[in-house]
């Protein structure tokens, strides 16, 4: 067999084998891989390359590849059962800042300088060390930061307010083409979509991406960036209409001279007022 054909066949075979091996070892993002997994992948890549180029005999290469694939898998299963094995393979997280104080001894252990620590804090939007309550270096090398309680952004939970849950937006237009499946999953159809496009004064062929959020609002990004589109106001308009109805009922209660009608209008105006108070976090935030 010719040399180039042998290399071609070996390359195809080893490529398929390497993909299967990586899949068996589980998904690991390169940027968040610990040292043991990184070494495994590097050695697997080297064995695959050398076997492909016939620098290693094929049976020997397959044996070596099997060891570097199956042995780490076995160790990962052991790590699930034993914390000692887990810490031995993956290492342990290192506390860098505790109760607002930098742990200089731990910085030395991880070979981290003060400037590198400050740079890592800035990537977490902690520009002042006085704002940091706790910082830890994970086994992947990532640094996670916990801000002091009085430095954290205020959330609706802190204010005791309810907010609407956010569902995944669905892309219904891509490159000027309507996607029927995500449109149907939102309970919508092409007629609704075309009506929204007509309201915005936009043609389908000029739409790069169109997305519908959980409130039924359509976001459009056009190929022609010079065209300015109005922002969707579905929730605001709904709230305004309910507010107008409440005001009308309150006005009717003041204008009518009929006692029973006055009581009915006032009662329903109050119900709408209470409803608006409950809906305000969902429709105006």
- pLDDT tens readout for residues 204-262: 888 889 898 877 788 888 887 777 666 666 666 677 778 888 888 888 888 888 888 88
Cα within 13 Å of Cα(108), Cβ side: 3
pLDDT tens-digit series, residues 53-103: 878 888 888 888 888 888 888 888 888 888 888 777 777 889 999 888 888
| Spatial distance between the Cα atoms of 6 and 14, rounded to a whole number of angstroms | 12
Other CB atoms closer than 10 Å to residue 93's CB: what's the count? 15
Name which of 45, 13, 17, 15 is nearest 30 in CA terms: 45
In the chain, % of residues over pLDDT 70: 88
Q: What is the pLDDT of residues 110-165, one digit of tens each?
A: 888 888 888 989 988 888 888 889 999 988 788 899 888 877 777 767 767 666 66
Residue 136 class from Cβ within 10 Å (0-12 exposed, 13-18 middle, 19+ buried)? middle
Handedness of CA 16, 21, 22, 23 (dihedral sign): positive
Task: List the beta bridge partners of residue 207.
Answer: 222
Distance CA 43, CA 88 (A): 20
The pLDDT score that the predictor gives to residue 96 is 92
Judge whether 111 and 96 are in contact, CB under 8 Å: no
The C-alpha atoms of residue 201 and residue 186 are separated, in whole angstroms, by: 23
Angstrom distance (rounded) from CA 203 to CA 197 = 7
The pTM assigned to this predicted structure is 0.51
Q: What pLDDT was estimated at residue 136?
A: 92
H or E, element range at 51: helix 35-52
Residues 6+ apart with CB under 8 A from 189: 183
């Amino acid at each position: 067999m010719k040399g180039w054909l042998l290399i071609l066949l070996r390359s195809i075979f080893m490529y398929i084998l390497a993909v299967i091996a990586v899949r068996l070892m589980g998904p690991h993002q390169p940027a968040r891989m610990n040292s043991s997994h990184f070494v495994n992948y590097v050695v697997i890549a080297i064995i695959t390359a050398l076997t492909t180029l016939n620098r290693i005999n094929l049976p020997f290469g397959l044996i070596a590849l099997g060891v570097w694939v199956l042995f780490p898998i076995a160790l990962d299963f052991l790590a699930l059962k034993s914390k000692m094995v887990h810490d031995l393979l993956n290492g342990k997280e290192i506390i860098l800042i505790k109760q607002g104080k930098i742990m200089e001894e731990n910085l030395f252990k991880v070979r981290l300088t003060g400037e590198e620590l400050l740079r890592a804090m800035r990537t977490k939007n902690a520009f002042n060390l006085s704002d940091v309550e706790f910082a830890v270096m994970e086994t992947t090398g990532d640094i996670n930061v916990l801000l002091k309680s009085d430095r954290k952004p205020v959330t609706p939970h802190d204010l005791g307010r309810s907010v609407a849950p956010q569902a995944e937006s669905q892309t219904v237009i891509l490159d000027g083409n309507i996607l029927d499946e995500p449109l149907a999953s939102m309970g919508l159809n092409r007629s609704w979509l075309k009506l929204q496009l007509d309201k915005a004064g936009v043609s389908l062929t000029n739409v790069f991406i169109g997305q519908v959020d959980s409130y039924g609002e359509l976001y459009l990004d056009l190929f022609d960036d010079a065209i300015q589109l109005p922002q969707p106001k579905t929730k605001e308009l709904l709230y305004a209409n309910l507010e107008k109805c409440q005001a009308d009922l309150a006005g009717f209660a003041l204008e009518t001279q009929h006692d029973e009608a006055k009581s009915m209008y006032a009662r329903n105006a109050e119900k709408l007022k209470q409803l608006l108070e409950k809906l305000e976090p969902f429709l105006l935030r």
